[in-house]
Structure 1
Amino acid sequence: MPEIETERLAADRSGLDRAAALLAAGGLVAIPTETVYGLAVDATDDAAVARLYQAKGRPSFNPLIVHVAGLDEARALVEMPPDAERLAEAFWPGALTLVLPLRPASGISPLVTAGLETLAVRVPAHPLAQGLLRRTGPLAAPSANPSGQVSPTSAAHVLDGLSGRIAAVVDGGPCAVGVESTIVGFLPDPVLLRAGGLPVEALEACLGAPLPIGGEAGQPISPGQLASHYAPKGAVRLNATAAEPGETMLGFGDVAGDLTLSASGDLVEAAASLFARLHEMNDMGADRIAVAPIPETGLGRAINDRLRRAAAPR
Structure 2
Amino acid sequence: MSADTVMLAADQAGCDRAAEILRAGGLVAFPTETVYGLGADACSDHAVARIFEAKDRPRFNPLIAHVEGAEMAARLVRWTDTADALAGAFWPGPLTLVLPLAEGAGVSSLVTAGLSSLAVRAPAHPVAQAVLGAFGGPVAAPSANRSGRISPTTAAHVRAGLWGRIEAIVDGGACGVGVESTIIDLTDRPTLLRPGGLPAEAIDAALGQPLARHRSDGTLTAPGQMQSHYAPGAAVRLNASAPRPGEVMLGFGRVDCDLNLSPSGDLTEAAANLFSHLHSLDATGRQIAVSPIPETGLGRAINDRLRRAAAPRG
Instruction: Name the TM tier (shorter chain).
Output: over 0.9
In 2, are the aligned partners of 1:193 and 1:216 still within 8 Å (CA)? Answer: no
| Distance in 1 of aligned mates of 2:32 and 2:206 | 24
Alignment map for 1:12-51 (pairs within 5 Å): 12-51=11-50
In 2, are the aligned partners of 1:256 and 1:263 still within 8 Å (CA)? Answer: no
Alignment map for 1:262-273 (pairs within 5 Å): 262-273=262-273
Alignment map for 1:1-314 (pairs within 5 Å): 1=1, 3-136=2-135, 137-286=137-286, 288-314=287-313
Task: State the Cα distance separating 1:218 from its structure 2 match.
Answer: 1.9
TM-score (norm 2): 0.98
| Distance in 1 of aligned mates of 2:283 and 2:240 | 21
- Size of the aligned set, in residue pairs, is 312
In 2, are the aligned partners of 1:215 and 1:221 still within 8 Å (CA)? Answer: no
| Distance in 2 of aligned mates of 1:11 and 1:289 | 34
CA RMSD of the aligned region, Å? 0.8
Task: State the Cα distance separating 1:282 from its structure 2 match.
Answer: 1.8
| Distance in 2 of aligned mates of 1:300 and 1:200 | 11
Query: What is the CA deviation profile of residues 22-74 of structure 1, one whole-angstrom value per residue up to 9, with x for unaligned ones?
Result: 11110000010000000000000110001111110111100000000011101
In 2, are the aligned partners of 1:153 and 1:175 still within 8 Å (CA)? Answer: yes
| Distance in 2 of aligned mates of 1:302 and 1:168 | 29
| Distance in 2 of aligned mates of 1:270 and 1:256 | 16
In 2, are the aligned partners of 1:27 and 1:167 still within 8 Å (CA)? Answer: yes
Task: State the Cα distance separating 1:161 from its structure 2 match.
Answer: 0.3
Task: State the Cα distance separating 1:81 from its structure 2 match.
Answer: 2.3
In 1, are the aligned partners of 2:153 and 2:178 still within 8 Å (CA)? Answer: yes
| Distance in 2 of aligned mates of 1:48 and 1:232 | 27
| Distance in 2 of aligned mates of 1:187 and 1:259 | 41
Letter in 2 for 1:63: P
Q: Partner of 1:170: helix, strand, or coil? A: strand
Instruction: Find runs of 4+ consecutive structure 1 residues off by over 3 angstroms.
Output: none
| Distance in 2 of aligned mates of 1:62 and 1:153 | 21
| Distance in 2 of aligned mates of 1:99 and 1:304 | 22
| Distance in 2 of aligned mates of 1:256 and 1:226 | 32
Q: Partner of 2:263: helix, strand, or coil? A: coil
Query: What is the CA deviation profile of residues 160-204 of structure 1, one whole-angstrom value per residue up to 9, with x for unaligned ones?
Result: 000000000000000000000000002411000000000011000
In 2, are the aligned partners of 1:61 and 1:219 still within 8 Å (CA)? Answer: no
* Identity across the alignment (%): 64
Q: CA 1:179/1:230 → structure 2, altered by over 3 Å: closer, same or farther?
A: same
Query: What is the CA deviation profile of residues 216-255 of structure 1, one whole-angstrom value per residue up to 9, with x for unaligned ones?
Result: 2222000000000000111011111111111111011022
| Distance in 1 of aligned mates of 2:264 and 2:223 | 32
Q: Partner of 2:277: helix, strand, or coil? A: helix
| Distance in 2 of aligned mates of 1:5 and 1:187 | 40
Task: State the Cα distance separating 1:17 from its structure 2 match.
Answer: 1.3
Flag structure 2 segments of 5+ consecutive residues without an equivalent: none
Task: State the Cα distance separating 1:215 from its structure 2 match.
Answer: 5.0
Letter in 2 for 1:191: T
Letter in 2 for 1:224: G
TM-score (norm 1): 0.98
In 1, are the aligned partners of 2:143 and 2:152 still within 8 Å (CA)? Answer: yes
| Distance in 1 of aligned mates of 2:195 and 2:38 | 21
In 1, are the aligned partners of 2:62 and 2:113 still within 8 Å (CA)? Answer: yes
Q: Partner of 2:109: helix, strand, or coil? A: coil
Letter in 2 for 1:234: A
| Distance in 1 of aligned mates of 2:302 and 2:88 | 25
Letter in 2 for 1:54: E
In 1, are the aligned partners of 2:98 and 2:187 still within 8 Å (CA)? Answer: no
| Distance in 2 of aligned mates of 1:245 and 1:51 | 42
Flag structure 1 segments of 5+ consecutive residues without an equivalent: none
Of 141-150 and 179-188, more deviation after overlay is shown by: 179-188
| Distance in 1 of aligned mates of 2:5 and 2:11 | 18
